[in-house]
Structure 1
Amino acid sequence: MEKRLKSRHFVNLNLNVRGLSQSATLLINERSNDLIQKGETVYKLGLGQSPFPVPEIVQEALRHNAHQKDYLPVMGLLKLREAIAEFNYRHQGLECTADDIMIGPGSKELIFILQLVYYGELIIPTPSWVSYSPQARIAGRHVNWVPTSEESEWKLSPEKLDLICRSDPDRPRVVILNYPSNPTGATYSEAWLKKLAKVARKYNIILISDEIYSLLDHNGDHVSIARYYPEGTIVSSGLSKWAGAGGWRLGTFTFPSNLKWLQKAMATVASETFTSTSAPIQYAAVTAFEDHPEINEYLHHSRRILKSLGNYFANRLRAKRITVPTPKGGFYLFPNFSVYREKLAAKGILTSFELCEAILRDTGVAFLPGMEFGRQPEELTARIAYVDFEGETVLKAAMNEYKNLPLTEEFLKKYCSKILYAIAKMEDWLDAL
């Protein structure tokens, strides 16, 4: 009987994970590294990892707290949660307390736990980050993809969201809104956010505002939708993108007070799974969320670099008749190669996957197909992460040599040459079609 029960549970588990593969972003990074180890030249534009170093003041805080070894509260270190509450008010005017905040080993884990504990339909725009939908599948939740258009820079339409919800207005729903966007680099205006907030309030939606790239808004103008839908918005953030600390695995959720029941349910699951986030990391993160001139300068120059590089890359793509929205934040482009459809088809390239495979094989430029982000396979879109440069060197140059100078093509050629080589390789490949 015991063996039969184990077998039955194994089958049930497979129903949720059967057919799932490793995260596409992690897989392309491992594949790129394998090719490099074999002696091949690879331009790593696949994994969306910040190229910049963790700010020195935050690194120093980690060194000073390496001795911290005790288990911390499931919700997170009180001092850190207080610092995040002040951070939220300083940057967005959001009024919250330490009691409204939960710390986890990456925002990715927190988003998954929320889907696990809340029985609701997941609504996400397409394209969207590669892990939202697989997480829902693992948790046994239904996913409703909302199509978006290139003309609207791939943004979630309030009208389409309303259309999905009106047929069953009382159904529990979770909407994930990620901006600046991975994979498109797009963001939302205040007017657009207000319209989305109105729809969310109308249907009592739980809205996860994934603002992990918020401090990398290229103009420093990010606005949280929590300003307009405070009662139903959970703000998700962390250190991985704006602080260059992806490997530290520290994420944050800020809950509205009326979703305390959901926060407690997530804490229960956390207590039985990851227990608490690494103690030295949490202590060091207090410094990251405090108001320090060094961090403000770090962010200012990070934005300058990413804006200049993103605009330059986008313009080079457009010169080849490839359509691509101008990135407004983060470090991603989402180009559409459909203008080359006939020439690509003549070479047997019919899908975005085949497109990326051919470019990697022929040029060494690695990026991800649009189908990994929820687009149809035959749509010739792709995500490019323009991060293959030595972040520490580039940041120092922007802070010193180019502190009061524009970051022109000369700067990019000097300090981001590998990405410019990748662009040239792609251009030559397209010209040869």
Structure 2
Amino acid sequence: MFRQILESQTLLINTQSKKLASQNKKVIKFGFGQSPFLPPEPVMQALKDAVDRKEYSSVQGDAELRAHISKFHAAHNGLKASPDNILVAPGSKILLYAVLMAFEKADVFIPAPAWVSYEPQAELAGHNSIKVPTSFDEKWRINGELLLKAAQSKKHKASILILNYPGNPDGLTYTEEELKAIAAVARQLDILVISDEIYGLLDHSSSHASFATYYPEKTITTTGLSKWCGAGGWRLGVAMLYDNIEPEFKQALIGIASETYSCAPVPVQMAAKVAYGRFKASMDYVDRQIRIYKEVGNYCYNGLTAVDIALHPPEGGFYLFPDFSRHKERLHKAGIATSTELCSRLLLETGVALLPGTAFGFEQDQLVARLAYVDFNVPAADSIFNLERDAVNTVTGIQLIGSWLSGLG
């Protein structure tokens, strides 16, 4: 009678962690990917100043804000979209869903691992989900050959690929050559690509290249304030449409928006105008985040690889995707055969919260998990970040994982 849609596991782990914390139990919060940074002071002040802005905006979003977004991304990495081809919404999640809902029937290619909401959204929209499996050796990245192979399972005329990089859950990105190869196959198969680049500004080398650069004719880029601006709960998402988008497709997107969310909160849009309108100041703020994320991420990488956990160095965002399979025999002897059991036991016995690989499209017996290295304190703007002082929970958490593994015998 009812749809079988489970609660998002990222939100569920946050709830479980809060429950343990309410019982006065120490929890290392590696499970929920929420930025520890506050938005810049001028952006927060703009939100306060706009508290009386209670009117509805246009469905597409404030015109001046869209102009700022267009200029900001053109300056950041050459991503070009006219203000009239930009949609602003309460979060990028609803924009992803609106794009999927605009199609009656489609095949949706979803790399595995992938963010937890892609597949449920595709199912809610009534589409055929096709996983594109990856592996540790491939750095959890898809390529043209894997996409061609997955296309053999197509059932419908319309095809959509959801590409996410820097990636959640893996914290990795794509090279220019890899993007060009995927673009070539997408062009060959006439695939619409939703390029989820919500972590793009947090590329650790500050060299993020948008997929639309290589496949401009049919790429929709999604982004927003939640990650680079530390404003996840404000819910401000952006979709940048391709230049020659079909009028009926664009109208479908606007129509879905008008019948669902109406518009993004106007006070938040006013704050977003400051975030996107002050390019130099915003990029200085982003650069500071990247320096800190790199230091914390590399500490976690070094600590985990030191205890023989398979892992790739972080390249963007604030995630790692540790693979515990080298400890499979030891884990099995301890009664741990699945990623869910792994994360449950780790949380219960050490207070370290990770998210199991099943949340990201993997089978239960694949002993992988996501680690969000965001459990640290951000020092004042005039202070230098100190790992031992400001990231005590992170340091403790990595040490606890290592000692827990060693203690399994």
Shorter-normalised TM-score: what interval? over 0.9
Q: Which residue of 225, 230, 233 maps to 1:244? A: 230
Secondary structure, in 3 states, of the residue corresponding to 1:257?
coil
Q: How does 1:59-78 map to 2 (within 5 A)?
A: 59-78=44-63
Q: 1:64 to 1:153 in 2, by over 3 A?
A: same
| Structure 1: distance between partners of 2:364 and 2:50 | 48
TM-score, structure 2 normalization: 0.97
Counterpart contact for 2:35–2:227, Cα < 8 Å: yes
Q: Is 1:416–2:391 an aligned residue pair?
A: yes
- Using the TM superposition, give the Cα deviation of residue 311 of structure 1 relative to its aligned residue in structure 2, in angstroms: 0.9
Counterpart contact for 2:221–2:241, Cα < 8 Å: yes
Render the CA deviation track for 1:53-108: whole Å, top value 9, x for unaligned: 01111111112211111111111110111111111211122332111001111000
Task: Specify the alignment match of 1:81 in structure 2.
Answer: 66
Task: Specify the alignment match of 1:367 in structure 2.
Answer: 354
Secondary structure, in 3 states, of the residue corresponding to 2:131?
strand
Task: Specify the alignment match of 2:370 in structure 1.
Answer: 383
The amino acid of 1:268's aligned partner reads: G
Secondary structure, in 3 states, of the residue corresponding to 2:244?
helix
Secondary structure, in 3 states, of the residue corresponding to 1:67?
coil
Q: Is 1:197–2:179 an aligned residue pair?
A: no
TM-score, structure 1 normalization: 0.91
| Structure 2: distance between partners of 1:197 and 1:216 | 23
- Using the TM superposition, give the Cα deviation of residue 168 of structure 1 relative to its aligned residue in structure 2, in angstroms: 5.5
- Using the TM superposition, give the Cα deviation of residue 154 of structure 1 relative to its aligned residue in structure 2, in angstroms: 0.1
Task: Specify the alignment match of 2:43 in structure 1.
Answer: 58
Q: How does 1:245-324 map to 2 (within 5 A)?
A: 245-259=231-245, 260-324=247-311
Secondary structure, in 3 states, of the residue corresponding to 2:171?
coil
Identity of aligned residues (%): 43
Task: Specify the alignment match of 2:382 in structure 1.
Answer: 400
Task: Specify the alignment match of 1:335 in structure 2.
Answer: 322
| Structure 2: distance between partners of 1:273 and 1:170 | 26
- Using the TM superposition, give the Cα deviation of residue 305 of structure 1 relative to its aligned residue in structure 2, in angstroms: 0.5
Secondary structure, in 3 states, of the residue corresponding to 1:301?
helix
| Structure 2: distance between partners of 1:95 and 1:339 | 44
Counterpart contact for 1:169–1:203, Cα < 8 Å: no
| Structure 1: distance between partners of 2:397 and 2:150 | 41
Secondary structure, in 3 states, of the residue corresponding to 2:194?
strand
Q: 1:79 to 1:315 in 2, by over 3 A?
A: same
- Using the TM superposition, give the Cα deviation of residue 167 of structure 1 relative to its aligned residue in structure 2, in angstroms: 6.8
Secondary structure, in 3 states, of the residue corresponding to 2:217?
coil
| Structure 2: distance between partners of 1:164 and 1:133 | 15
Task: Specify the alignment match of 1:47 in structure 2.
Answer: 32
| Structure 1: distance between partners of 2:147 and 2:244 | 23
The amino acid of 1:286's aligned partner reads: K
Q: Is 1:188–2:174 an aligned residue pair?
A: yes
The amino acid of 1:280's aligned partner reads: P
Counterpart contact for 2:303–2:399, Cα < 8 Å: no
Structure 1, unaligned runs of 5 or more: 1-10
Task: Specify the alignment match of 1:7 in structure 2.
Answer: none
The amino acid of 1:400's aligned partner reads: D
Counterpart contact for 1:170–1:203, Cα < 8 Å: no
Q: Is 1:132–2:118 an aligned residue pair?
A: yes
Q: Which residue of 126, 129, 132 maps to 1:143? A: 129
| Structure 2: distance between partners of 1:248 and 1:202 | 39
| Structure 2: distance between partners of 1:242 and 1:94 | 16
